[in-house]
Chain A
């Protein structure tokens, strides 16, 4: 049982490049989400999904795209990287989005855009 697995752990991109951050969970969780954490701050929600085929925007969705084709995977795509997207990205999952909603986090991806 690996929990929530994020790849890569570190990434450097040039402005304008695109990339996909991978997130997978093996706990059969319905709810998955992506957050970003900027220095000295709490986490802010980018996008979330309440089940396969269903996604929605969070607090800071601009510049990011997501899809949820399976229960296990929830990739985050950066369409055209900008220096403002330099941050640490966390993927999280919960068994449900109601009731017991304890969240489990991946190890994070530290992204630098130059």
Chain B
């Protein structure tokens, strides 16, 4: 089955810093999503991005499907950006296959 790997596993930054999170996947996919799980456990949709580039405020994402990776950029980090960032791709029986996540801590 499809394998999804995220890096780095942990990231600690000062408020205002920029960061890049990476998601590699082992096979071609036609669905990729980025989620933010906040400290209260809520899963928030960030991007649905099977290919190309999207931007939403301080966040942007790029997926290069032919090279099997996606990047999530966070600029000018705020403490509210803390949490775990997951990427997930759609597998063979329609389930989402999840990476292990990147735990981001933004210090004031």
- Residues of chain A whose beta carbon lies under 8 Å from any beta carbon of chain B: 31, 33, 35, 41-43, 45, 48, 50, 56, 58-59, 88, 90, 92, 97, 100-105, 107-108, 110
Question: What's the least CB distance linking A37 to chain B, in Å?
Answer: 8
Question: What's the least CB distance linking B47 to chain A, in Å?
Answer: 9
B contacts with A, residue count (CB < 8 A): 19
Q: Which of B14-22, B64-72, B74-82, B86-94 contacts the other chain?
A: B86-94
Whether B95 lies near A42 (C-beta < 8 A) is: no
Whether B33 lies near A102 (C-beta < 8 A) is: yes
Question: What's the least CB distance linking B46 to chain A, in Å?
Answer: 11
Whether A104 lies near B45 (C-beta < 8 A) is: yes
Whether B33 lies near A42 (C-beta < 8 A) is: no
Whether A41 lies near B93 (C-beta < 8 A) is: no
Question: What's the least CB distance linking A57 to chain B, in Å?
Answer: 9
- Neighbouring A residues of B33 by C-beta, 8 Å: 102-103
Whether B100 lies near A108 (C-beta < 8 A) is: no
B43 near A: Cβ within 8 Å?
Answer: yes
Q: Which residue of A lies closest to B90 (CB)?
A: A101
Whether A43 lies near B42 (C-beta < 8 A) is: no
- Neighbouring A residues of B93 by C-beta, 8 Å: 45, 48, 56, 58
Whether A108 lies near B94 (C-beta < 8 A) is: no
Whether B41 lies near A103 (C-beta < 8 A) is: no
Identify which of B31, B41, B100 contacts A101 (C-beta below 8 A). Answer: B31
Whether A48 lies near B95 (C-beta < 8 A) is: yes
Whether B94 lies near A101 (C-beta < 8 A) is: yes
- Neighbouring A residues of B96 by C-beta, 8 Å: 35, 43, 45, 92, 103
Whether B99 lies near A42 (C-beta < 8 A) is: yes
Whether B98 lies near A42 (C-beta < 8 A) is: yes
> Could you tell me the distance between the alpha carbons of A97 and B93 in the complex, rounded to whole angstroms?
9
Question: What's the least CB distance linking A4 to chain B, in Å?
Answer: 10
